[in-house]
Amino acid sequence: MKLPIELKSRPLSYSSLKQFRKSPKHYIQYITQDRKPPSEAQIIGSAFEMLLLDPEKFEKDAFVYVKPSLRSNAGKEEWERIKVQGQGKLMISEEIEKKVKLMVENTRACDEMMQYVNSITKQQTRLRWTDKKTGIPFIGYADAEGSAFGGDWCFEIKTAQSADPDQFVRDFYKWEYNIQIASYAIGFHKSQFRFPDFAVLVFETSEPYNCSPFMVESKTLEQAKEEWRASVDAFKFCMDKELFHQGYDFLLQTMDYFAIRQPGYYKPRF
């Protein structure tokens, strides 16, 4: 199966590579399906980031509404009017507005986190480059960059249920943020010849609205870049062999069989 699109018109991104890492069929589904509306978690993340980093933009571009009951025709008509009023803006409910304001309030009370937040000089850095080895074009958008502790930094901003250090380290690999960080590190190198340090700034979306800054150690970054490299090589192999019709069986290209092994964190109950 050949790719249904030209990569030049839709370069490979962290999100699409993440889907390919599940299986080639996941990647095809991702690039061909209709765009889904943002989830509530995504809306909260966007509203929080805007209010934290650019309050004036929040006041101008966020549209706060009270959603009417849709059980009556009058309520449905009112909801359609609200959607028209909020067109082109970030639509958030009063409940979400209250939540993100509490998140920002608690963040501003955390001196450690504010050292990073106050150092941000630019948001949404666009990175576009072509991988020399495979010829595959890439694109990415780093959340923020700045100058902190005497160095050049790239910051990824994440909202999560928990910013607990032990929990988030697991989530970092569960959601494959390591591949995202590696992609941006390579993007800064190839498109701007820069080698920033990386930090992930994590903010809780539920009480007590704690937050934690995580610095990505150099060894972790190098390991992530190696995994990114292997993933890109696998994508090129899939292209060359026209294997995008495959599911999880594609993974058997690099392993003999699927195995169930007891993980290290599993503790027998008795």
Q: What's the rounded Cα separation, in Å, for the pair 55 and 28?
A: 38
Q: What is the pLDDT of residues 247-257, one digit of tens each?
A: 999 999 888 88
Q: What's the rounded Cα separation, in Å, for the pair 53 and 150?
A: 21
Q: Is the pLDDT of residue 263 over 90?
A: no
The alpha helices in 5-137, defined as continuous H runs, are 14-22, 24-32, 40-53, 55-61, 73-85, 94-108, 111-117
254 CB neighbour count, 10 Å cutoff: 9
Q: Is the pLDDT of residue 4 over 80?
A: no
pLDDT score, position 218: 96
What token pair was written down for 117? Answer: 């937040």
Query: What percentage of the chain exceeds 70 in pLDDT?
Result: 100
Q: What's the rounded Cα separation, in Å, for the pair 269 and 267?
A: 6
Q: What's the rounded Cα separation, in Å, for the pair 211 and 202?
A: 6
Task: Give the closest residue to 211 by CA, choosing from 147, 171, 160, 172.
Answer: 160
Q: What is the pLDDT of residues 37-96, one digit of tens each?
A: 889 999 999 999 999 999 999 999 999 999 888 889 988 899 899 989 989 999 999 999
Task: Give the closest residue to 155 by CA, choosing from 197, 108, 127.
Answer: 197
Radius of gyration in angstroms for the set of CA atoms belonging to the chain, rounded to a whole number: 21
Q: Give the chain's mean pLDDT.
A: 94
Cβ neighbors of 77 (< 8 A, separation 6 or more) are none
Confidence of residue 99 (pLDDT cuts 50, 70, 90): very high
Q: What's the rounded Cα separation, in Å, for the pair 104 and 156?
A: 17
Q: What is the pLDDT of residues 201-223, one digit of tens each?
A: 999 999 999 999 999 999 999 99
Rounded to two decimals, the pTM is: 0.90
Decide: 94 and 66 in contact? Cβ < 8 Å.
yes
pLDDT score, position 190: 97
pLDDT score, position 3: 84
CATH of domain 14-34+101-252: 3.90.320.10
Confidence of residue 12 (pLDDT cuts 50, 70, 90): very high
List strands edge to edge, sheet with 151-160: 120-130, 137-148, 151-160, 197-204, 211-215
Decide: 223 and 179 in contact? Cβ < 8 Å.
no
